[in-house]
Structure 1
Amino acid sequence: MMKSLRVTAPDRALRPARSAPLRFLAGLTLAPLLRSAITRHSVPAGQPPRVACDRCAAPIGPGQPLRPRSPVARCAACGARVGAPPYTVEIALIAAVVALLVPDRPAIELLAVAGWLALAVPLAFIDAAVHRLPDRFTLPAALGTWGLLGLAAVLHGDAASWLRAFAAGTGLALFFAASTLLLGRRGFGLGDAKLALSAGALLGWYGWGALIAGVFLTFVCAALVSLVLLVTGRVRWRGQVPFGPFLIVGTVAALVLTP
């Protein structure tokens, strides 16, 4: 019996360490797909997804001059940059995968956070580029997060956590939506409110402290970056800075720091 315990216990302890590199590599395989999504959807509101180079009209696709999945982010026909800057998506995805693997979470919770990150990364780049958060990313993020957390609540017998997540996501979204209705363009956008449905739910699942920490880090990050942009002349005093990337960064930071 003692011999059996000595063999199985170390093997169980090493399983997470062995699976971490595999999860890391699996996460990096998403980089071409995410870069392609960013390239296609980084267009102003009301316009269809990008199907060609803005400068020379070279079509997008395999074997075409414009290859949206390439980390170089250049059109082979005219050399124009299209989509996110070179290698930035890959770096952001590496950071997201590392943040995903740092805390020890159950499988369903891990899947919920991973699914949200897969949609949050392109949302951050799209919002930074054209100041919009498309519904085709924010709404699936909300539905997927709520659904997976609901499944986790059923499996764990923890309905209270799901109700708290629902209340946190709904409350944070209503806060952003109310600012839009009251302040107009000076407030947050409706896209921010839709993104808050999933971000707030994830934070609320881990407790009210996680929600407070995430919101605090979000506004601190937004204030610091806005101040730097203002001092350097990148934006004017009444200029608008996209809020979606800060909400994503603040949420990820709180998820990593929250026990």
Structure 2
Amino acid sequence: MELSGSSPRSDQERASTSGVGPPSGGGRPGARRAALGCLTLTPLLRLAVLRHAVPARSALRAGCPTCGEPVDLRRPWPVLGPAARCGRCRARVGPPPVAVELAAIGAVAVLVLLGPPTTELLAVAWWLGWVLPLCFIDVAVHRLPDRLTWPAAAGVGALLGLAAATGVGAGPWLRAVLGGAGLALFFAASTLLLGARGFGLGDAKLALGVGALLAWHGWPVLVAGLLLALGLSALVSLGLLAARRVRWSGHVPFGPFLALGTIAALLLTG
């Protein structure tokens, strides 16, 4: 299903790479290798969540919140593994067990579905690498740290610029820059006008990369991604209200819905 006919990749380019059809038997082993490779990075993702899932203007967390045992990549197991348990006190640390690992495998699946490796796909992979910990942090403490949102946006802009310089030209990249800036301004304006009832400034910074990735494929894709994110957020919020898990005055983090809406729009475009 195509959301836009203005994608910088032509139908011929989508159907063929280097003049040959898709491989008949190499896709699945390649996907498995990619998934296994991604799983080796999950301790780093868990560490990023542990460090930054703290209230605003608080020091980064350096160890187990229960016993204070230091946590770093020199001693990743079991605290930064799928069990997510402190090696000293056995308390749960960071995101739920296996959650980060499943999210990482899901990210690999998205990249496989989007198509063969290209510079555009590298931009999506870069963005996913930052947005995965951001989603867990937003759910935990309702904030999106600048230390993660700014590199995500900068990397997306640079990689899409490289894709433009080596292939499709400046048009899609300029549209991506305008889309990212426009979406970020939309979220920032809601914060200024509505205060706590609007989106946060963290959402605006996350929107820089989101808007660029979506607008690269055309303005309809950007609109579709935003509508999907808003729709998912509304459905989940209504479900939480019906279950009395939140109140009307409560706050539901929007970052994960913005990420899911972006992924869904990209998959529909591809």
Q: How does 1:109-188 map to 2 (within 5 A)?
A: 109-188=120-199
Asked if 1:51 corresponds to 2:55, the answer is no
- Show structure 1 runs of 5+ residues with no match: 1-7
Q: How does 1:201-212 map to 2 (within 5 A)?
A: 201-212=212-223
- Show structure 2 runs of 5+ residues with no match: 1-17
- Number of residue pairs matched? 252
CA distance in 2, matches of 1:245, 1:197: 15
CA distance in 2, matches of 1:193, 1:63: 34
Identity of aligned residues (%): 56
Question: Any conservation in 2 of the 1:60–1:67 contact (CA below 8 Å)?
Answer: no
Question: Any conservation in 1 of the 2:214–2:222 contact (CA below 8 Å)?
Answer: yes
In the superposition, relative to structure 1, how do residues 189 and 83 fare at CA in structure 2: closer, same or farther (>3 Å)? same
Task: Quote the offset at 1:82 in angstroms.
Answer: 1.5
Instruction: Give the secondary-structure state (helix, strand or coil) at the position aligned to 1:102.
Output: helix
Moved more, 50-59 or 107-116: 50-59
CA deviations on 1:198-235 (whole Å, 9 max, x unpaired) are 01100011111211111111011101111111111211
CA deviations on 1:39-74 (whole Å, 9 max, x unpaired) are 121111111111122222222236769854121112
Q: CA RMSD in A?
A: 2.2
CA distance in 2, matches of 1:140, 1:246: 20
Tell me the amino acid that sits aligned with residue 31 of structure 1: T
CA distance in 1, matches of 2:146, 2:251: 21
The structure where helix makes up a greater share of residues is 1
Match of 1:4 in 2: none
Higher relative contact order (CA 8 A, sep 6+): 2
Instruction: Give the secondary-structure state (helix, strand or coil) at the position aligned to 2:257.
Output: helix
Q: How does 1:1-259 map to 2 (within 5 A)?
A: 13=23, 17=27, 19-61=30-72, 67-259=78-270
In the superposition, relative to structure 1, how do residues 68 and 137 fare at CA in structure 2: closer, same or farther (>3 Å)? farther
Task: Quote the offset at 1:110 in angstroms.
Answer: 1.2
CA deviations on 1:126-168 (whole Å, 9 max, x unpaired) are 0000011011110001100000000100111421101111111
CA distance in 1, matches of 2:167, 2:26: 21
CA distance in 1, matches of 2:144, 2:61: 15
